[in-house]
Amino acid sequence: MGRNILRIYYRLPVFCQNIAISCYGLMIYIGRYTGVYHRYLKLFSRNKHRKLEKELRIQNKRFLRLLHYAARKSPFYREYYRDIPIQKIKSVGDINRLPVLSKDILKENINRIYTISKGGSLHFSTGGTGGIPLVVRKRPRDVQQRMAYLDAYKLNFGFRNNKMRSARFFGKKIVEEDPKRPIFWRTNYPLRQRLYSTYHLTEKNLPYYIRDLNHYKPQAIDGFVSAIYTIAKYMEENHIAPTFTPKAVFTTSETVLPYHRETIEKVFCCPLSDQYASNEGAPFIIQCSKGSYHEAIDTGIFEHIQTENGIKLLVTGFDTFGTPLIRYDIGDIVLLEEGMTCSCGSIHPVIKGIAGREAEYLETGKGRFSQVQLSVLISQLSGMVEQLQFRQKKDGSLEILCILSEPLKKEMNEKIIKSIMERFLGSKTAFKLCFTDTIERAPSGKYQLIVKE
Ligand SMILES: [Zn+2]
């Protein structure tokens, strides 16, 4: 939404804001959940991905279709693949004959990568790194197919999207900064979604959120794990039980750490399922009901490239006809474990997890630390520390922002916290510990454990 529209929106009473959100939601609904959506939802919910040959056949077919389409329709790819005998590429196995598409190349050439006009497409903007968000164009039918895939996955957990109530915690600024009344959510009536603001989750406001969740009784909770965790943890610490049991908690966009999962599943008495995707249109990595991360090879191609920072992911997304992504270096690191299979019956390859963005590593005197490794430190500090953020300055120095669980006990806990950190980060790592009561989120609304300046 534009800034002017937002200014008008914030002036409206809550009731009218709900209507505005519902109208906006309906517009989105018409773009994404009509057309081929229902046909694909049926098709996808029948396929349990049990036969390897069938999945590979689908993958090959969809890859070749995308490749030929891009080489024909996209001025950029026509030139990029000029010296490559496209006809010789017969299957996914030949993909490494094609050059890799880096983020910079994508950004610089975006206008020549598009295969469709602005008017006939749906737009998705992605990560505003460097200030300028990248706008990706998609064909409506590709978006509808993508939504159907996602909804078929949620159906496996017994949740019908748009038919059952869901509580959503994403980065949209739907509530003004200082609302007069403690109403931190807006409702999209036709889609049966209540959108909760992730910008007002303070100790003072949390009781209102919890009271409303208990009143609304969502059948699923969707969104950023950091936000859902904040609520779950508060409920756990204050012995508040939910009056509802969701089918599942669906998280996306942030790395799910072991302590997140443990608390959320315990408090809401339901499974947490994480899903990896990106607005650019990366294929899905989906956590099944048994808890394994599966690469959905019928939605794209995943290549694992060994680098000094870990295993880098190259993706090819089968619903990117509007802005083709072929061998796209999305900047994420995955964790593999050879020979893993899953008892859910799906033959889609299992990976151990997504370690996050390449940039999300902390440089210390003891080497590099990933978010997953830092989560060990966080669990050692539980009870004393509410939230942490590691900020790596340009000169390499380290600043740790810390929100205390009990600010009144600062004197008492400061020494203990410092010594636990020193032991964990090693004596060669110099850091500055700063106590604060709020930690700012990224412009997207995501919480960042590691920030590099
Ligand atoms: Zn599985």
Domain CATH for 403? 3.30.300.30
CA of 387 to the centre of ligand 1 (A): 32
Residue 224 and residue 162 in one domain: yes
Question: Is there a domain that residue 52 lies in?
Answer: no
Burial of 307 (0-12, 13-18, 19+ CB in 10 A): exposed
Residue 199 has pLDDT above 70, yes or no: yes
Q: For residue 155, give both structure tokens.
A: 């159906």
Mean pLDDT over the full length of the chain: 91
Residue 65 has pLDDT above 60, yes or no: yes
| The dihedral formed by the CA atoms of 65, 67, 72 and 74, expressed in degrees to the nearest 10 | 120
Percent of the chain surpassing pLDDT 70:
97
Question: Is there a domain that residue 379 lies in?
Answer: yes
Q: Which of 260, 272, 235 is nearest to 159 (CA)?
A: 272
Q: Which of 382, 383, 443, 438 is nearest to 201 (CA)?
A: 438
Question: Is there a domain that residue 59 lies in?
Answer: no
Name the strand (E) or helix (H) holding 193. strand 193-197
- State residue 131's pLDDT score: 45
Name the β-bridge partners of 122.
138
Residue 261 and residue 344 in one domain: no
Residue 1 has pLDDT above 60, yes or no: no
CA of 290 to the centre of ligand 1 (A): 5
CB atoms within 5 A of ion ligand 1 belong to 288, 290, 292, 342, 344, 346
CA dist 450 and 60 (Å) reads 38
CA of 91 to the centre of ligand 1 (A): 26
CA dist 234 and 440 (Å) reads 19
* 442 DSSP 8-state letter: P
**10 phi and psi, to 5 degrees?**
-65, -25
Domains in the chain: how many in total?
3
Question: Is there a domain that residue 209 lies in?
Answer: yes
Question: Is there a domain that residue 121 lies in?
Answer: yes
pLDDT tens-digit map of 19-30: 999 999 999 899
* 131 DSSP 8-state letter: G
Task: Tell me which of 340, 357, 374 is where a domain ends.
Answer: 357
Q: Which of 378, 366, 293 is nearest to 332 (CA)?
A: 293
Residue, of 127 and 160, whose pLDDT is higher: 160
- Stretch 178-207: mean pLDDT: 93
- Give Cα separations from 336 to 56, 162, 354, 362, 416 (angstroms): 20, 34, 9, 21, 36
CA of 104 to the centre of ligand 1 (A): 35
- Stretch 366-392: mean pLDDT: 82
CA of 50 to the centre of ligand 1 (A): 10
Q: Is the pTM above the cut of 0.85?
A: yes
- Stretch 36-40: mean pLDDT: 97
Give the domain range for residue 375: 362-452
Residue 2 has pLDDT above 70, yes or no: no
* 93 DSSP 8-state letter: G
- State residue 318's pLDDT score: 97
Taking the alpha carbons of 349, 352, 353, 358 in that order, is the dihedral positive or negative? negative
pLDDT tens-digit map of 81-137: 999 999 999 999 999 999 999 988 998 999 999 999 999 899 888 764 444 568 899
Residue 373 has pLDDT above 80, yes or no: no
Task: Tell me which of 357, 391, 414 is where a domain ends.
Answer: 357
Pairing between strand 367-369 and 362-364? antiparallel
CA dist 270 and 223 (Å) reads 15
